Amino acid sequence: MKKTLILGGSTVMKDGTSPQDVLIDVTGVIEDVRPDIQDHRDAEVVDAKGALLFPLLVDCHVHFREPGLEHKATMETEATAALAGGVGTVCEMPNTIPPTVSVEALKEKVRIASHVGHLKIKFFFGITEPAHLEELQKIWTSKDIGVEMLKRHIAGVKLYLDHSTGDQKVEAIMLDAVFSVCAELKILIVAHCEDPDMNKAASEKIVNHSGGSISSASKTSALTVDLHSEMRPPESEVKAIKDAIALVRKYKGAFHVAHLSTKGGLDEVRTAKKEGLPVTCEVAPHHLFLTTDDYKTIGTLGKMNPPLRSLEDRNALWAGIEDGTVDCVSTDHAPHTLEEKQNKFPLQAPSGVPGVELMFPLLLTVTSGHWPHPTSKKPSAKISYQDIHRLCLTRPVEIFGLEHDAIEKNKKARLSIVEPETRWVVERKNLKTKCGWSPYEGWKLQGRIREIIAR
């Protein structure tokens, strides 16, 4: 077995990009990183001239569907998709069957993940009732070494403030207890922020116009998918974020807003940060690149929670990336089968879209100065390779307490070789995710991952 020398590339670090060769020893550990490594007689040479060398990135919000929903995806299939997209670490959500709300359910996920090669997987612990909070406390306080070791597999607690896929909504009466306990134990809370009462009122208003009821509304083709955005209005997200921040102010625990989608929600986070509160947030590619205008072309393939928003909201998210308010980009990778998504009753189609393998190429396209969306206007915000490093590696590692993949001496070699000038088209036949479709199908991207090295 030979060493590997990656020759002629430029490494992307958090503080800059510079020409560096990378020598990897036979055990997969980086032996040297520096310009112009000359002595490589005993190494297999990989020509990376003109290429970028990125550390493997983090997607801190994915749904890999296993156990219980393997017809949609498995940890193995989605690990393949993640690695193909230059992602080496993910944080996986609790809404599986059974949900990750107990010691035993977490153990089972850890067991499954132990057989998945090269992708690092951490898990969120779900809470919807007092028994789940007791299970979490058991993990954090147990003297049993087997239970205690589960802590290192947990990225945080996930709360759904309204129903989404998996019906894991936490009752409002539980919120004070969860925020109090998590602050005391120093456990990060991540929340899907939508207000259930505002969503219900908006839904009732729409279905009343149709002469039906909420229970029957999803079973009619007369109500089109674009109404999904009206049934979960922007004001719902803003109120939920504001209410959650009030609990952060009260208990002082770390809080992270999942898949933030609105200008108003971003303003709440910006204000909280200025106040010095431990509040962070993420945005998803589908909210950065799609708007309500896209329903007319992709239909139910654009249905997710929170739903697609206006062009103004989309532009505000990009501005939030540019000014540093947005901490992370993560995909909310949520595969459903194409048959499920193409339901003849649009509002009955499940919410969620895949994205883990295209997050990085979409962002690379924007760094190149191009805009991948075929019809919408490019926002004014600009991003750099260092922004990608910050949004998809540095900040997720800091927020979720993850192991940092870096192109450094004595670290395991975990990197992607990227051709920044290569243009390509998203085609369904080339996707690795088990569900086999993407809302970005047909989009022209710039920046192709040529090779993944994951040791």
Provide the annotated active-site residues.
332
Sign, CA dihedral 420-332-352-288, equals: negative
Enumerate the β-bridge partners of residue 123.
92, 154
CA triple 139-155-366, angle to 5 deg: 175
Return phi, psi of residue 31, to 5°: -90, -35
The CA–CA distances, whole Å, from 283 to 125, 266, 331, 353 equal 21, 10, 8, 14
Cis peptide before 350 (omega within 30 of 0): no
Q: Are 361 and 449 a contacting pair, CB within 8 Å?
A: yes
Tokens of 37: 């490594």
Enumerate the β-bridge partners of residue 46.
6
What's the rounded Cα separation, in Å, for the pair 229 and 305? Answer: 9
What's the rounded Cα separation, in Å, for the pair 303 and 292? Answer: 10
Sign, CA dihedral 352-233-372-9, equals: negative
Strand ranges, E, within 73-196: 87-92, 120-126, 154-160, 189-192
What's the rounded Cα separation, in Å, for the pair 55 and 150? Answer: 27
Return phi, psi of residue 206, to 5°: -70, -45
For residue 100, the 8-state DSSP code is S
